[in-house]
Amino acid sequence: MVGGGPAGLTFARVLHRHGHRVTVFERDPAPDSRPPGGTLDLHQRLGQLALDKAGLLEEFQALSRPEGQAMRILDTDGAVLRDWQARPDEQANPEIDRGQLRDLLLGPLDVQWGRDVTEVVPGTQDGALVRFADGRQETFDLVVGADGAWSRVRAAVSSATPRYTGVTYVETSVDDVDTRHPDLARLIGDGSVAVYGVNRALVAQRNSGGHVKVYAQFRAPLDWHTNLELHLGLTGCGRLDLADVEAVRSSLLALFDGWAAPVLDLLRHGTSFVHRSLYVLPVSHTWEHVPGVTLLGDAAHLMPPLGVGANLAMLEGAELAESVAGPGDLDEGVRAFEEQMWARAGRWAKITAAGLERLVSPDPSEALALFDEVQPS
The torsion of the CA quartet 175, 83, 352, 309, rounded to 10 degrees, works out to 40
Min. distance of Cβ 206 from ligand FAD in angstroms? 13
User: Any binding-site annotation on 134?
Assistant: no
Q: Which stretch binds ligand FAD (CB under 6 A): 57-65, 105-113, 309-317, 354-362?
A: 309-317
297 binding ligand FAD? (CB under 6 A): yes
Interacting positions 213-242 with ligand FAD (CB under 6 A) = none
Name the nearest CA neighbour of 6 among 71, 82, 86, 102. 102
The dihedral region occupied by 284, where left means phi > 0, alpha psi between -120 and 50, and beta the remainder, is: left
CA–CA distance from 236 to each of 34, 176, 231, 264, 276 (Å)?
36, 35, 12, 21, 24
Contact 34, 121 (CB under 8 A): no
Residues within window 134-153 making contact with ligand FAD, judged by CB under 6 A: 146-148, 152
How many angstroms separate the CA atoms of 101 and 51, rounded? 10
CB of 191 vs ligand FAD, minimal distance in Å: 12
Is residue 2 within the footprint of ligand FAD (CB under 6 A)? yes
- 77 known member of a binding site: no
Minimum distance between the CB of residue 70 and ligand FAD, rounded to whole angstroms? 14
Give the binding range for ligand FAD (CB under 6 A) out of 1-9, 187-195, 281-289, 361-369.
1-9
Least distance between ligand FAD and beta carbon 146 (Å)? 5
- Within positions 14 to 53, which residues make up the interface with ligand FAD, using CB under 6 A? 25-28, 38, 40-41
Beta strands in the chain (DSSP E): 23-26, 39-41, 71-74, 80-84, 95-97, 110-113, 117-124, 127-132, 137-140, 143-145, 163-174, 192-197, 200-206, 212-219, 273-280, 293-295
Nearer to ligand FAD among residue 197 and residue 297 (C-beta)? 297
* CB nearer to ligand FAD: pick between 142 and 237: 142
Question: Within positions 168 to 207, which residues make up the interface with ligand FAD, using CB under 6 A?
Answer: 169
> CA-based diameter of the chain, in Å?
67
For ligand FAD, the closer CB: 228 or 308: 308
Smallest CA-to-CA distance from 294 within 4, 5, 54, 8 is with 8
257 annotated among ligand-binding-site residues? no
Q: Is 11 in the site for ligand FAD (CB under 6 A)?
A: no
C-alpha to C-alpha distance for 208 and 100, rounded to whole angstroms:
10
Using the rule CB under 6 A, is 127 a contact of ligand FAD?
A: no
Per CB under 6 A, the list member of 69, 192, 311, 352 interacting with ligand FAD is 311
Residues 64-123 that bind ligand FAD (CB under 6 A): 116-117
Q: Is 98 annotated as a binding residue?
A: yes
We find the least distance from the C-beta atom of residue 213 to ligand FAD, in angstroms, to be: 8
From its phi and psi, is residue 258 left (phi > 0), alpha (psi between -120 and 50) or beta?
A: left
The amino acid sitting at 52 is D
| Class of residue 21 by CB neighbours under 10 A (exposed 0-12, middle 13-18, buried 19+) | exposed
| Shortest CB 316 distance to ligand FAD, Å | 8
CA distances to 100, 208, 299, 317 from 97, in Å: 5, 7, 22, 19
> Which of 254/274 has CB closer to ligand FAD?
274
Alpha helices in 55-204 (DSSP H): 57-63, 98-106, 177-180, 182-188
Q: Which stretch binds ligand FAD (CB under 6 A): 56-64, 236-244, 303-311, 339-347?
A: 303-311
**216, 253 contact by CB (below 8 A):** no
DSSP states of 157-189 as a string?
T-----EEEEEEEEEEEE-SHHHH-HHHHHHHT
Between 11 and 237, whose beta carbon lies closer to ligand FAD? 11
Nearer CB in complex with ligand FAD: 76/352: 352
From the list 15-23, 69-77, 186-194, 294-302, the region that binds ligand FAD by CB under 6 A is 294-302
Residues that bind ligand FAD (CB under 6 A): 2-8, 25-28, 38, 40-41, 116-117, 146-148, 152, 169, 276, 297-299, 305, 307-311, 313
Residue numbering of the annotated binding site: 34, 41, 98, 298
Residue numbering of the annotated binding site for NADPH: 34
Residue numbering of the annotated binding site for FAD: 41, 98, 298
